[in-house]
């Protein structure tokens, strides 16, 4: 059996309007990573390997948790949300969200247009995103022991789509629920990938840390 622990990066720069400026942890994001690392070291600390994408917020979260990165794999990088959002506005007149409430409506619209190839000139087609995430996940399934993957919400959403056979609309809803520094467990057993845990935040469950339960 192989066990894969997926962790979403800590809170990044929530005020960003482009990919580059988003790619850094906030002070709270660094704190979330530290708390999660403490929790893991006091429960089940061993991993046979630690994988991240090449994005700063992913690698900094893993290091903030206290883990040494084994491999940085660009296949684990996030989808280009800001580029997709700009294309959606330019080509279909749907403006970018101004707050979290609008984002909850906007993200499914982005995913819907993207999956139907209705966005031109974007950095990556949906099929290419699907292929790279599922290929990386399938490789991890055939690595013995426990693998920690520190990545992003869109990657985790795609991993769960692959695991559970979700429709694209279901994947978008899943992505909206994935909290910063949340933990998701997959198990590869009997030649099947199965979901063992979703969106766990045991390091944030105490009342004094309620403020640290963030989505963006």
Residue 99 pLDDT > 90: no
Residue 151 pLDDT > 90: yes
Q: What is the pTM of this model?
A: 0.96
Q: Are 125 and 79 in contact (CB under 8 A)?
A: no
- Residue 71 is inside which H or E element, if any? strand 71-72
Average pLDDT over residues 190-201: 96
100-123 pLDDT per residue, tens = 889 999 999 999 999 999 999 999
* Domains along the sequence of the chain with CATH: 2-79+145-212 (3.40.50.1240)
Contacts of 125 (CB under 8 A, 6+ apart): 117
54-91 pLDDT per residue, tens = 999 999 999 999 999 999 999 999 999 999 999 999 99
pLDDT at 100: 83
Buried b (16+ CB within 10 A) or exposed e, 32-55: bbbbbbebbeeeeeebeebbbbeb
Q: Are 77 and 57 in contact (CB under 8 A)?
A: no
What percent of the chain lies above the pLDDT cut of 70?
A: 100
Average pLDDT over residues 189-216: 95
Residue 174 pLDDT > 90: yes
pLDDT at 98: 87
DSSP symbol at 197: E
Distance of alpha carbon 191 from alpha carbon 200, whole angstroms:
25
Kindly indicate the confidence band of residue 146, based on its pLDDT and cuts at 50, 70 and 90: very high
pLDDT at 96: 92
Residue 15 pLDDT > 90: no
pLDDT at 143: 95
Residue 17 pLDDT > 90: no
């Amino acid at each position: 059996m192989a066990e894969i622990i997926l962790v979403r990066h800590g809170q990044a720069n929530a005020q960003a309007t482009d990919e580059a400026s988003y790619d850094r942890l906030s002070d709270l994001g660094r704190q979330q990573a530290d708390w999660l690392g403490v929790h893991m070291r006091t429960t089940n600390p061993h991993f046979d390997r630690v994988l991240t994408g090449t994005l700063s917020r992913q690698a900094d979260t893993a290091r903030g948790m206290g883990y040494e990165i084994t491999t940085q794999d660009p296949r684990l990088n996030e989808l280009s949300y800001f580029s997709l959002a700009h294309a959606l506005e330019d080509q279909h007149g749907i403006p970018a969200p101004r707050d979290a409430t609008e984002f909850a409506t906007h993200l499914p619209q982005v995913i819907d247009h993207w999956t139907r190839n209705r966005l031109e000139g974007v950095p990556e087609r949906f099929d290419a995103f699907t292929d790279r995430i599922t290929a990386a996940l399938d490789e991890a399934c055939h690595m013995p022991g426990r693998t920690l993957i520190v990545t992003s919400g869109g990657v985790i959403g795609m991993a769960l789509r692959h695991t559970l056979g979700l429709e694209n609309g279901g994947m978008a809803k899943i992505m909206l629920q994935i909290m910063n520094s949340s933990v998701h467990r997959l198990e590869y057993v009997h030649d099947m990938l199965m979901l063992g845990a979703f969106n766990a935040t045991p390091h944030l469950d105490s009342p004094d840390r309620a403020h640290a339960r963030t989505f963006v």
